[in-house]
Amino acid sequence: MRFVLILAFLLGSFAVAHAADVDFVRVWPEWRDAESFDRISEYFTGKENTGRETVRRSQVENRAGFYFVTRVRNNAGEQPAAKMVLSVIRPDAPQVRQYTFPVPLPRGETVYNLGLTGKDWPGNKARPVAWKLEVVSTDGTTLATSKSFLWEKPAK
């Protein structure tokens, strides 16, 4: 019996340590105009230069939109085919909408710009009612979650 308890404790400790290997350092929800992505190099090359940030948009052809600028810390191994799953309640509709953005997840800290663009966001004055953002591994495991205060009822 003692062996089972020790094994359960060790496995539980591993699960806690593993879950903390990836976390959100910060999430900044904000509107961004298309011009905020312009860089001088784009005028010469004709290609968008995102610098060291990973940019993903729900409507690829539209740059202006409501972005979730996130900094993710990954102390685990690199995952080249991870994804960010964004669930959001818009101010003009009560149902939850979910968007999936494939992203590389290298070791260290990475900045992601996840944009709800084009018809996926009602305009520059609109703010989300509530949101939840998850980092999901290649095998489907949720590695980290961040959410707004209004995403769920507080526990009693």
Chain segment 44-79, per-residue pLDDT in tens: 888 887 778 899 999 999 999 999 999 999 998 899
Question: What integer pLDDT is reported at residue 39 of this predicted model?
Answer: 84
CA-to-CA dists, residue 105 to 46, 88, 93, angstroms:
27, 22, 32
Structure tokens at 127: 């703010």
H/E run at residue 4: helix 2-19
Chain segment 81-94, per-residue pLDDT in tens: 999 999 999 999 99
Question: What integer pLDDT is reported at residue 14 of this predicted model?
Answer: 41
- Gap between the Cα atoms of 64 and 57, Å rounded: 9
Strands 108-117 and 54-57, bridge-based pairing: parallel
Domains of the chain: 22-150 (2.60.40.10)
What DSSP character marks residue 32? E
